Every structure is written in C-alpha cells, then in structure tokens.
Chains A and B, each alone.
Chain A
Amino acid sequence: MKRVQFNSRFIPYLLLLPQFAIISIFFYWPSAQAIHSSFFIEDPFGFGSAFVGLDNYTDALTAPEYQKIARFTVAYSLIVTFLTLSLGLLLALKADAVIRGQSTYKTLLIVVYAIAPPVAGLIGMMFFDQHIGPFVHFVALFGWDMKVGINYFDTAFAMIAVAVWNQIPYNFIFFLSGLQGIPASIREAAAIDCKSGTRRFWTVILPLLTPTAFFLLVINMTYSLFDTFGVIDVIVKDKPANNPITLVYKVYLDGFRGNDLGSSSAQSVILMVIVLALTLIQFRFIERRVHYG
C-alpha cells in the first residue's frame, strides 16, 4: 500500500459503488442462488420446490454417468495442461534462441490467441470431418478409422487437439517473456560453468521459469475446465450421446436442456469447490516451493 493516501469520508465508497453494484447483482447474488437451489428440487414447470438437503449432491456424485464425466474431465484437463505447457515452452525456447526472424516468429505464433474457442472448434471439426477432413484421410493410411462424434476416443482426441492448439500462444507469450526476463549475467555465468545446453536448461533456466510455469499451470487448468466450453459445444452440438463431455458442459446440459435446476446447481457448487481448492493449493503448497528469482 501507499505511504501517502487520501483521507476522504465518502469518495472511496463512491468510487467503489459501480463495481460493487455489478458484482453483487451478477456475482454474489447468483452464486448465493446456486448454493440455495442446490438444496432444493424444483418442479420443472416452476410450481414450487421442495427442500431435499444434500440429495442433489449425493445423487450427482454417485451417478455412474457423473463419475465417468468427472474422470474424463480430470484426464482431459491434465492432458491439455501438460501439452500446452510443454509445446508453449518448446516454441518459446526456440524463439528465444534464434536471432534472425525472432519478431516475425513471435507475431505469427501469437495470432491464434485471438481465435475464440468455438471458432477453433469449428475449424477443428472440418479437419476431423469424416468426409472432407484431411487429418482423417491421413490417419486412414495407418489404419485408424477416425469417427469424430461417434467414437468416444476419437472425439476426445479432436477436442484435446483443438483445445491445445487454441491455448499454445498464451503459454508461448508468457514463457517467452519469462525467458527474456532472465538476466544475461546469469546465462553467461551458467555457460561458463556448464557446457551442456540441456543440463543448463534443467538446472538453471527451468528453475528460474517456475513462477511463470506455475502461473500457467493454474491458468491452463481453469482454461480446460471452463473456457473450452465453446470447443466442446461445437463438436458435440447439444447431443452428447456417446461423446465425452466435461463437468461444465454437464452443468449446462442439465440446467438448460434438462431443466433440472437442483442438480445443475449442485454440480455448479461442486465445480466452485474444485476451483477454490485449486486456488488454495496454488497459494498454500506449490507456491512455497517455486523459485522466485
């Protein structure tokens, strides 16, 4: 905080008023509603509701379908997080190493940041399309009969590919700026001490990048949990059938397509708890072990 501050009776409240008006109406009120209605079963036609305690939670958590979706969501976010982190880092390392054309590579590699997930999903769908998709034709040469939208595994593959593609630029930008923030003196000292570039990377560069990597880890997790909704919706098109979906998509399906407000709210609250837990882990456990140079 500042050493010098203004003392004023009402100006700070006046300044905060617009923000508070918005967050109380559109954040705290709906969040409270979600928690409230997660304890009720509502008549689908809106004629009253009945208190059912934790039933919505136990129903959701014990349903085999929900567990299957939860397992997929965990696998999906781990894979997406890992791939975006490593590909983003790889490209950033290479872009940091070259001198000629560095800014051109940088410009070209960040373009996809601006692409919305549903647009990415649409383009991805064309590449994985049964009739016209070049990727499908290509893998058919190796005997993989890819059927996105029908085969569970193939659909998951397409979703992950699109989600990773869309998120690489973000990781690239942060890793590159992290790399360029490492002082030249440290790199030179390391170069004198150790000849092997690979070893220098693992023992000097990577530890110095851990704050960035850690920040990106959490960002990528939330990205794959929530922001890929558009990708999934475009690929699955409201009809999950045998297709893999994530927990957020299930909240949407049950709430808006199935009109099951209670269950949808309970699932929302479960997701809130997951996000809060992720954030807590960030602050309590991992952040202590991260090296801040």
Chain B
Amino acid sequence: MYRTKFFDHLILIAGVILMLGPLVVAFTTSTHTAAEIHSNGLMLSIGGHLEETYGKVLFRKGGFTGEVTGMTMAVNSLILGLGFAIGKIVLSMLAAYAIVYFRFRFATLAFWLIFTTLLLPLEVRIMPSYKVMSELGLLNSHVGLILPLLASATGTFFFRQFFKSVPDELLEAARIDGAGPVKFFIDVLVPLSRTMIAAVFIIMFVYGWNQYLWPMLMTTDESFYTLMRGIKQILQVWVGSQIPDYNEAFAMAVLAMLPPVVVVVIFQSWFIKGLTESDK
C-alpha cells in the first residue's frame, strides 16, 4: 500500500514536470539576452534582462508601420476574448431560453438548424467566410474578428442542458404569481444561472483569446493584430537573421499565455464544473 502511493506520487510529479517544465523554462529563458541563449541554449536560471525584454516587447513600436506595440496586441486580444465571451453568452442564453421554455411551430427545425453548427468548425469554411467578411466590409475590424466565431452553438448547448435541469416547479410558481416570459427570464432564470454563466464565460474567454487562424487571416492592418498574430510576426522576422530574438519570442509567448492561465487557475472550480457537467 505504502509503495503504490509512492509510485502514484512519482508518476504525478513526472506529469507535472512534463506539463509545467516547458512553461517555466520559457519564462526563465526569456529573462536572458538572445546572444546568451544562442550560445548556451535554454536556461533554468533567471537572468538580468527581465524588465528590459518585457519592456521592449510591450512598448517598442514595431511592424511595417512602426505603430504596433505588444500592448496594442494585448488590448486587441482582450477585446476579442471579452467580446466573444459576452456575445456568446447573450446569444446563447436567449436562444436556449426560446428552445427550452417556449412552444412554437418551428421549434424542432430551429433546434436542428442551431445544433448543426456544432458539427463543422470554422476551419473547414475558412475561405468562404473570409469572402463573406470582405463583401460585408468587415475585414480589419473588431466586429469582424468576433462575429464569425460566434456562429457555433456550443454556448447554446451548454445553456440548453442547464435550463433543462431547472425544476419545472419554478416556472409553474412564477406563472401562478403572474410573471411573464421576460420577468421570469430576468428575475428567476438569470440569477439561477450565475455559476453557469461564469463557467461559460471562462471557457469562452480562453477560447477567444487563443484564436489564431481567423485573426491571422482577418487582420492585415497591424493595429488590429492580436498577441497570437504577433507570435507569427516574430517568427516571420526570424527567417534569415543571424541570432534570432529567442528572448523576445519567449517573452511574447509568456505574455500571450499569462491571462488565460491566470483565469483558468483562479476560477478552476467553476470552469471544471461548467466543462464537465454540460458537455455530456
């Protein structure tokens, strides 16, 4: 018994090192200069260039236009993450409310039209989506960044499952008290869904913040670059350079992963609850 526990811990510790090791090394290496990294490889010690490198990545103006900074990209990522999460919650709560709580003629059809979108990710229709966006004149805009990503029913699915688990008695009681659909939604259903909303918010924020392909295609104007786009930018500059800016690339990676990591770690219990209870 004692020995098996020992091995359990050993495997878990190995797992933790395997999962977190690269992240720690990414951070420690980013505090050294590119030349040091070039000659000595990745570092486990903290170097003396933390503020310098991060200051540079955050505030130095770069790109073709010489206007875009890491800060601009972080703000764009934040707008994308927040806009996507909030948009998703509003759209999907309304739609799920209609599907679960109303009797209407095309209910089944509406259900299938919405849930078909779960089957095909944006990546398979990326080219025509791009064309639609350019016809609508939404390329290089925050709206254009967010809207197409909203066209999937994951959130609606989460809320549908949740609303179905809400006891029928609540609606009966509310109706006896004379509450209409709007009042019931605002005074009963929304307060009841608070935890669910928080969970969906975290999942969607991380998802939006981490988007890569769509922002990459959508934004040719550098003032709309997100951090993920910035990572591609850094790598493109690398080709042909003597000593690549390893330190800046790592610093960029650390900046890009910090907000979602913090959100997931702090709100982990909500996030795990939301993820595991509604997906089945």
Binding site for B on A (CB under 8 A): 1-8, 11-13, 15-16, 18-20, 22-23, 25-31, 33-34, 37, 87, 90-91, 94-95, 97-98, 101, 105-119, 122-124, 126-127, 131-134, 137, 165, 168-169, 173-174, 177-178, 197, 211-212, 215, 222, 226-227, 229-230, 233-234, 237, 248, 251-252, 255-256, 261, 264-265, 268, 271-272, 275-276, 279
Contact = CB atoms under 8 A, between A and B. Distances in A.
B265 A107 contact: yes
A107 B218 CA distance: 35
Contact of A115 (B260, B263, B265): B260
B268 A107 contact: yes
Contact of A123 (B16, B26, B182): B26
Nearest to B5: A98
Contacts of B153: 19, 23
11 contacts: A4-B171, A13-B98, A28-B113, A30-B125, A94-B9, A94-B12, A107-B265, A111-B23, A174-B276, A237-B239, A275-B121
Given A33-B131, A110-B268, A226-B121, A2 B168 contact: yes
B41 A5 contact: no
B200 interface: no
B132 A33 contact: yes
A107 B216 CA distance: 31
B152 A27 contact: yes
Contact of A272 (B120, B132, B206): B120
Interface string B100-137: 11111001001001100101110111111111100010
B198 interface: no
Nearest to B236: A237
Contacts of A95: 12
A26 B153 CA distance: 12
A37 B12 contact: no
Contact of B110 (A16, A132, A137): A16
A203 B1 CA distance: 21
Given A111-B20, A173-B275, A116 B212 contact: yes
Interface of B: 4-5, 8-9, 11-12, 15-16, 18-20, 22-23, 25-26, 29, 37-38, 41-42, 90-92, 94-95, 97-104, 107, 110, 113-114, 117, 119-121, 123-132, 136, 147-148, 150-153, 156, 164, 168, 171-172, 175, 181-182, 206, 209-213, 216-217, 228, 231-232, 235-236, 239, 246, 249-250, 252-253, 256-257, 260-261, 263-265, 268, 272, 275-276, 279-280
Contact of A94 (B8, B20, B164, B216): B8
B15 A272 contact: no
B3 to A, nearest CB: 12
Contacts of A271: 123-124
B127 A265 contact: yes
B124 A211 contact: no
B175 A4 contact: yes
Given A6-B103, A23-B113, A112-B20, 9 more contacts: A5-B103, A7-B103, A12-B104, A29-B128, A97-B5, A98-B9, A165-B18, A233-B216, A275-B119
B100 A1 contact: yes
A222 B121 contact: yes
B26 to A, nearest CB: 5
A110 to B, nearest CB: 6
A16 B100 CA distance: 12
Contacts of B12: 91, 94-95, 98, 101, 105, 109
A94 B12 CA distance: 7
Given A6-B101, A118-B228, A177-B276, A16 B117 contact: no
Contact of A275 (B124, B232, B256): B124
A114 B150 contact: no
A15 B97 contact: yes
Contacts of B16: 105, 108-109
A211 B232 contact: no
Contact of B124 (A7, A26, A109, A272): A272
B123 A248 contact: yes
B181 A6 contact: yes
Nearest to A197: B4
Nearest to A169: B19
A237 B235 contact: yes
User: Which of B42, B90, B175 has the largest number of chain A CB atoms within 10 A?
Assistant: B42
Nearest to B151: A26
A279 to B, nearest CB: 6
A113 B212 CA distance: 16
A126 to B, nearest CB: 7
Given A110-B272, A252-B213, A255-B127, A12 B11 contact: no
Contacts of A27: 117, 120, 125, 151-152
B249 to A, nearest CB: 6
A15 B38 contact: no
Contact of A15 (B98, B123, B253): B98
B26 A255 contact: no
Contacts of A19: 91-92, 94-95, 114, 153, 156
A77 B257 CA distance: 25
Contacts of A107: 265, 268
